[in-house]
Structures are given as C-alpha cells and as structure tokens.
Structure 1
Amino acid sequence: MARGREGEVRTLVLGKYELGRMLGQGSFAKVYYARDLRDGQSVAIKIMLTPWFKRGFVPPVPSSPATPRKWDDDNAAALIDGSEDSSGNISPRTCNAFQLISSMSSGFDLSGLFESEQKAATVFTSRAPAATVFHKLESVGKALRYNTTRGKGWRIRMEAKADGANGRLAVTAEVFEVAADVTVVEFAHDGGDALDFNKFCAEDVRPGLADIVWAWQGDVPALPGAVV
C-alpha cells in the first residue's frame, strides 16, 4: 500500500503500478486507472474479483493445416530476449507484467503475448521459479518417451519417436519469466499433425505438470482476495 495526495490510500500492483480511481466494473473484474511507477505513464489495469474457471478447455483445431514453426538453432537467438551471463547461465525470456495483466481481460487468454503465427500454441502459468519449470518440462518430456533436446535460451524441443498421421509430432516449449514468482510457458507446434499436437497439449502433458501449473490458457487463477 502507498499513500497518495490528501491521504488517499493507493495500492501497488506487482510493485510497479499504483492504482487510482475505478474506471468501470463488470461481472468478474474491476478496471482501475493506474500509473506506471517507472515512467509515470497512465494505464488501465483489470483486476479479477472472484475465481472463475473455464473447465474442459481444449485447444482449438485449426480449420486448415497449420505450418509448424521450424526449429532452427541458428536463428533461435533472434526469437529470444534471454541473455547469457559470464558463467554461461541463460536467463529466461521476459514478459512485461502489464502485458500479462491486460491479457486477462479475455478469460486469461495469453495468446496476444506471443507471435501471431503461434496462435495454436497452448500457454500456462506457474508460481514456481523459471528454472524449476524448465527442468520439470524436460523431465515430463522424457517420461512421455519423447526425444527431448534443449535449444538456445529456455526452450525445450520434444519429438515423438514414432510417426503419426503427418510425420513425427514435435513440440517446442519455451519458458518466459514475468516476475520472480510468475512464469509463463508456451507450447508451439513444431512438426507433425495438428490433431496430435492438440492432444499432446490437452491430455498428454498435463498430468505430469499438475504440481507446478497455476492456470492454463482459458482459466483464471485463484488468489486470496483479488487476482491480478
């Protein structure tokens, strides 16, 4: 909490945004005027009021075959904001916290945070550290008997050992750090049949990740009090 002019109490969101007056209210959220403490820019922030879950979410099947994103290590660095320190450790790609907050205006749909050609990708959030999430993804891929390899940055490629309807399924998982306690993971279709990819995201990978997932795309995570 912070105290503004004339003793008005202000609330800080993620330590970066100062909430002001309420601009509007819907069934599940309130929209507040806010100020970015870093540059003073005025923004609008939506805060969820109650837990609300869309159960049974299944990633949509494209109406036409999608062209998988090519796994290309030579060009991967251009897609990643992560950086390598002097000891060789790589930091996860970061997402702007306000992008995450704003994206929740449509049922926690995070698709707007990522490249347009990856709309079929499935996204989930975690409260675990990015490094923990990364190693969990790697272990789950191996448990599913996929050939698992690390790419540049915090990316993992999982490839099926047997051919499917349209070749071998390949999935790329990339870890993004939003804040110290908020991590976002995106699964992208990298090869094989689109139906196999959707099954992988909706059924195969979820049980193994259950202990680290905060919410899947299409769900709104529950927090004590308000959800941001």
Structure 2
Amino acid sequence: MYQVGIDVGSSAAKAVVMEGKTILKKVLLSTGFSSRQTADHIYDLLAEAGFTKENARYVATGYGRVSVPYADQTVTEITCHAKGAQVLFGSDGTVIDIGGQDTKGIALKNGRVMKFIMNDKCSAGTGKFLEVMTNRLGLTQQELSELASRGRHISISSMCTVFAESEVISLIGRGTPREDIAFGVIESVVTKVTQLIAQIPGETYFLTGGLCEDEYLIGRLRIALKKPVISAPMARYAGAVGAAVLAGEERGN
C-alpha cells in the first residue's frame, strides 16, 4: 500500500505519494474555481501513474479537504504541516506557513505541536496579498522580489489587503518607483508575519508554503526575526507530505 497526501489550498493543490519515508511522486496544480474538480484531476493523474484506491491510502488536508471525496481520512492543516515540517526539517522549531488565505505559526518540540496561531484572512501578511499586489504591478512573484532587492524604504501600513492595495494605487499615482513599491510590499508581508510569529517565538524557523523558494523574502524574514529561517523547494508540499506520513501511520507503517 502506498501513502497519498493531498493538500487542497485556496490557491494551489498539492499531492505527494510516499512509500514509507520515500517520496515517489508529487503533483502541483492551481486550485482554480472548483476544489472538487481539482481533487478529481489529481486522482486521475495519480491513477495514470499507478496509484489508485486499490493500492493506496489517501489522507486529505487543507482549505478544500472536504472536496476530496475519495479520501480515507481528512486531517487539519496544523497537524499535517507540523508533521511535514518535522519530516523535512526536524522535530524542534517554529513552522511559518504563508498560505493563500492565512498565515500559520506552529511551535514544535520533539515533533509535537505545542502551540499554534493563525492570522485573520483579511490580513496583508498572506499569499493572497502578494498575488493582488503582483497583479496590480504587472509582475510575477519572482520579479517582485528582484525589484524589491533594489528598492528603498516605503511603508505600506494597512492591515487589510483591500486598503493596502489602495495605498499601492496612491503610490503609483504619485510616480513612486516600482522597485520602491515592491520593497514596501515585501516588507509589509515580513512585518505582519513577524508580528504574528512573535507570539510563539523560537530559535529556528521552518518556512513552508508557496514562498519557500523566494530567497529575498526568506532573507528579509531572517533579518526581522533575528534567527535562522530554513526552507527548501519541497517545503511547498509540507502539508501533503504530512498527510502522506499520517496515511502510513494510520495503517501501521
């Protein structure tokens, strides 16, 4: 029996197939309009690769976990991200997951969740905020970070994405250089994340989610938190990895 973890987030859906502790396959799709259709598409892709209900146990997590009708079990994002971060990085640290709808902080000790915290969905410290801002500026996330690295101090203070976007529109109207606006956008996210994580401080931080390969943002987080911030490309799949590991534990692996 294979172990399949499916993490249906608000922006992206991820799936990981494992055998024991070995990752055999991963899938990344945009969640799109329908979580159910995306979940069905994931199953089709996995079935084509030979991973079906007959030879695998499925565990679903994430914003759209209830939209995975073939899942044997659904598990909370906190539990799955904690387990996935433990597998990828270690048993002691504070997980930072910057998701599309919210940002989560999870304190781990000996692999156990000691405390967790989440921000408000409207907060500027989320992936959705960055998506709105990159669209407004006509940039990709990578281009935003590249521009921000050359920018100067600009403050975007609004806690709400809608009001923050209005600030950016005003800056554009005043002719503020785009690199300075990009700097302000990234700093806004870093500030909001730092304020959230300050409630569960740690000695080492594990960054999971879609920004795991953004070296500029990771660097700014290291400066703001004054502690090591560790990430890796597979950290995007942390929730799915955790779900897959739990699938194995449920069947006694």
What TM-score, normalized by structure 1, do the two folds share? 0.25
Richer in strand (by share): 1
